[in-house]
Every structure is written in C-alpha cells, then in structure tokens.
Amino acid sequence: MTNYLGRLRLSLFAVAFISLTATSGLADRMLIERNARPLLAEGALEAIDLWETPLDGFFVRSHHNVLPSVTNDSWDVSFEGLLAKQKKISVKSLKKYPQVTFHAVLECSGNGRGLFSPQVSGIQWKRGAVGNAEWSGVKLADVLKDLGVSAEAAYVTVEGFDEPVMKGDKKFVRSIPLSTLAEAGAILAFTMNRQPIPLVHGGPVRLVIPGFYGQNWIKWVTKLVFSKEPDERMYAKKAYRMPLVAVKPGEAWDPVKQGKPIESILVQSIITYPKPDANLAPGKIVIRGKAFSGTGFITKVELSSDAGVSWKVGTLSSPKDYAWQEFEYEMSIGEGQSIEVMTRATDSKGHVQPLVQEWNPKGYLYNAADRVKFRGSSAGALLASGEALALTHCQTCHSLGMAEAQRLDKGDWVKVTKKMADYGLVLADDEVEKIATYFASRYSKELPTDDSKFVELSSDPSSLTSPGDAPKAHWVHGKGLFDTYCQSCHGKEGEGNIGPVLKGRSLSAGLFWSSVTNGKRKMPAFKGVLTVQQTDDLRAWLVLRDRVQGTRDRL
C-alpha cells in the first residue's frame, strides 16, 4: 500500500454509520440494508414517498470498501488526455466557475433486480435504489472550455476513488461518450440537498448526469481522461451492459460483443402508498407514487385494479428540472376487500411502461408496471395507525429492540407509554391506546424472543476502540499480541520482512480489522484466533508506537 493510500483510506462502515445516524433518529427506518461490506442500502417507502429524498433515506451504492478520509476543497481532479491544457484542478478552484442547481433523479440500474423471475445474481434491490435530490455544481462544459478539448476526443473515462482492497484492474471507472455529457448537461456537483455531498454519496465532488443511470454518476471524482476510444478496463468495457437482443435464462452471451452500455433511465412509476399488504381503514383511500423517465417528462400515469383490463388516469404533478413527478388516484375499499393496483407511466417521447418485465441475465433496467396489494380492515387499520404513531413518537429515541425485548400486554404498554410523559412526550388517550395495541400485537407474550440476531462487529464502528482514546492497558496488550502474532512476518519494529511494512502506515480501523480478521493475500486470517478487542488492542499499539516515534523524530 502506498503512503497516499495509507493516508486516505477509510472504511465505508464508519462513514456510513456517522452520516446515517447523525441526521435523524429515524434513520433505521429510512434505509434497508442489502449488504454490510461494502454498505449497500436502499431507501424505504417512507423515504421515497417524499418529493425530495432525505439524505438519511437516500440509497447507498458503492462497488468497493476503500474510500477517502479527507474530502474537502483541497481535493484535486485531474483532466488528462486529448486536451490543449492538461491540468489538475482543486475543488476550491472548480467552485469559482458559475454554479447551477437543479433536482434530478438518481437510480441504480439494478433497481428492481430482486423482482426478476427467474432470479438473477447480484444485489437483490427491490424498488428503493432510487431517489430525487437537489444537486449544485459547475457545468462540465464550462470547465472544458478553458482546457480545450481536441476534436479527436470521443470518450471521457471518469475515475473515482472507489477501489478494491486487493490490487488489479478493478478500480471503478466508466467511459462515457463526450456527446452524452454535453447533451445531458453534466455537472461536477459539490452539494446534495443544499449540503456538502456526504462521503457515502460521493463527496466532495461527484459527476451528475441528469437522465442517466447511476453507474455513470461517478463518486469521489479524481480523474477525467479524454480519448478516441473507450477505456479497456473491466468496469468500462464489460460491466453495465445490456444484450442487444433478448437472452433466455441459461443462454450464454458476451457483454462486449453482444451488448451495449446502459445509459438513459427507462420510463417508470413506483407506488409509495399504500405499502404492500397494508390493512387500510374501509372507505376512500388515495394511491400515490412517483413517476420518472430519462428521455422526457411524464405525461400521464394510469392505474388499473382489474389486472390491466381497464385503466384510469390519475392526477399528476407538473414537471420540474429532471426530478420525478408525483401522481395520485382516489378510490374506495370495503371491509374485507382485497385489491391489487397496477400503475404504468407514459413519457413525452411516447415511451410506456411494459406490463411484464423482459428478463435479462444481469437483472438491469427493471421498469415493469408497479403493483401493490392491500385490503380493507378496520382492525388492521388500527394497528397501522399505532405503528405510524410509534414510528413518530417512540422510535425517535428507541430502536425496536426496546419493545421487542419486553413482551408486555396491552395494559402494561399503556402504562409504559404514559410514563414517557416524564420525558416530555404527551399523547392523547386514543394515541396511547393505538400505540399500546400495536406493540402488544406485534410483540405478544406468546411469541419467543429473538436471540438469533448477530451483529458483525467489523461493520459497526461503534464497537471499534479508537486508538487515541484506548486505555493504556490496551496498548500493553497490543504490544504483546504484535510480538506473538505479527513480528515474525512484519519485523520487530514493523519494518517489513515476509509481510509488508507496517511502521508509519496509517490504517483505518475498518481496513485493519478486515485484513487481520479475513486475511489478505498470503496473510492468514486471524478470525477465531484474535477477538475483536484483541484486534483493537493490536491496532492501538501500532498507532501509539508511530505517534511516539514521530514525537522523537521531531525532537
């Protein structure tokens, strides 16, 4: 590992934990984890039901787990290749160009993969790997005017910091036609929803291409290379491609010879209310959702409650920038009645959502008509109301584990809920009744407690001891562990022997934990040999030793 990487690496877990918990007490209900390492999470319906998706409910997609730790205005972006002037420009200097602001939909091209049948491999996103945010930054075209792009340049290979722990050609890059960037009005963005772009979302600078799928919105932009031909690396040449002709399940295909790059977002609609299998109070209800397309604005959204035999047009909000549009449709439901609603959108170019999704081997570009089933139930509606009240009033301070562990009956839950008045929470009697009914029903005394939940401590930065704050005893323990397990390969002072040099290297907690626990290249895995605490003690000793040595060098 070079000194550069040693200085800049930080585990995605720590970043995600900080950014996703600091902004909202309800963050655990806004994102659904699909993978822990690297963190992949999709927005819950509560998040995408809002017109502007909140940062703590905006989906997270990264390809690797090694990210930068320093993300400020000193960050440099290199412009190379077929340019009159090749130049490295800091974010501070980029911000001097005129800035533009607009809302735009960002969607992972694998959104909906978990809905394909037959199932395909990959992250099993449902419908939440999408969001609508306000982006601010500078037009790429304005920057390129000063650099002078050669007439021969046809592609821009955009490179981000996102890279694997293991070396190779797997750094995440995309080669994008220069004409695409120009026509789409691409920007180098610095803010997201009027805040500096959070690190998990690509800050301090991210490429934003309105109307195009998210793999082209490169995060942590470090380099743009202008060339005649697209890049030959794996992510640019083979990844994120769709078959030119339909491929049947099990049929072989070559993504390079028989595929094309994924670009524009397909026309879609997503029902955000009601939730699937919801119990709704009988009477009038309002179906609502979002519709969007990368090839034009939405002109209509139709709804069907008879499996597509007949369709009725819902109300639709006006288009704004490159954002999604909201639709609503009012209907009635009776007690005990079950209904399945379908929605399909049409855009200004005449593109219409298909009723059935065409299968593809990578599970990309899901855009079939959305469907949701629900039923009319007075009893179920009461529980749903209690759940909504608990989310608003209880889970602001507590996670569901607090309720799950207690197993109280309704009367006891009434007492517990009323007791919260001592902490400033005052509820009407009917609200207390609904919350108590919900908790007593969901976590009844008859149900066993769940002792099967395990936390992978490597993905939870709160479990990792900070070397700077570790008690002295941990440093001593760490030295003993280093002498026992590490010095034979890394040298007595970490100077390197069979293993690489450790002396003077600043390793992030997440990267260190992962390497020690899971092994790396020829290094054995110490999972089952060293506990999490011992691993933290070991890192605490290495960091302390380097600090002491650095102080000596300055004297």
| 501 CB burial (10 A radius; 0-12, 13-18, 19+) | middle
Indicate whether 423 and 504 sit together in one domain.
no
- Per DSSP, the residues of 286-326 read EEEEEEE-SSS-EEEEEEESSTTSS-EEPEEPPP-TB--EE
Read off φ and ψ for residue 238, nearest 5 degrees.
-115, -25
Q: Evaluate the omega torsion of the peptide bond into residue 118 and state whether it is cis, within 30 degrees of 0.
A: yes
Euclidean distance between the first and the last CA atom of the chain, given in angstroms as a whole number = 28
Indicate whether 88 and 194 sit together in one domain.
yes
Q: Which two structure tokens, joined as six digits, stand for 138?
A: 């500078």
Indicate whether 348 and 427 sit together in one domain.
no
Flag whether 167 is in a domain.
yes
Q: Distance from CA of residue 127 to its chain's centroid? A: 13
Flag whether 3 is in a domain.
no
Q: Which two structure tokens, joined as six digits, stand for 436?
A: 């108590």
Domain of 493 in residue numbering reads as: 464-554
Indicate whether 85 and 228 sit together in one domain.
yes
Flag whether 109 is in a domain.
yes
Flag whether 234 is in a domain.
yes
CA distances from 442 to 44, 127, 266, 454, 476 (A): 20, 26, 39, 21, 48
Q: What CATH number does residue 536 fall under?
A: 1.10.760.10
Indicate whether 88 and 203 sit together in one domain.
yes
Indicate whether 370 and 394 sit together in one domain.
no
Indicate whether 390 and 369 sit together in one domain.
no
pLDDT score at 433: 94
Pick from 359, 376, 393: which residue ends a domain?
A: 376
Q: What CATH number does residue 386 fall under?
A: 1.10.760
CA distances from 326 to 47, 368, 370, 491, 503 (A): 14, 18, 14, 62, 56
Indicate whether 125 and 174 sit together in one domain.
yes
Pick from 376, 399, 418: which residue ends a domain?
A: 376
Per-run averaged pLDDT (10 residues), the chain, 555 residues = 33 34 44 84 92 92 80 94 96 98 98 96 95 98 96 96 70 94 97 92 96 97 97 92 94 94 97 95 96 98 97 97 98 97 98 97 97 95 89 76 80 91 87 92 72 43 38 71 85 77 63 68 76 78 65 39
Q: Which two structure tokens, joined as six digits, stand for 507?
A: 């390793």
Indicate whether 225 and 328 sit together in one domain.
no
Flag whether 15 is in a domain.
no
Indicate whether 202 and 100 sit together in one domain.
yes
Q: What CATH number does residue 91 fall under?
A: 3.90.420.10
> Is 282 in contact with 333 (CB distance < 8 Å)?
yes
Flag whether 26 is in a domain.
no
pLDDT score at 482: 87
Indicate whether 390 and 483 sit together in one domain.
no
| Residue 279, SS3 per DSSP | strand
Pick from 331, 351, 376: which residue ends a domain?
A: 376
Q: What CATH number does residue 342 fall under?
A: 2.60.40.650
Flag whether 409 is in a domain.
yes
Flag whether 6 is in a domain.
no
Indicate whether 101 and 126 sit together in one domain.
yes
> Is 425 in contact with 390 (CB distance < 8 Å)?
no
- How many domains does the chain fold into? 4
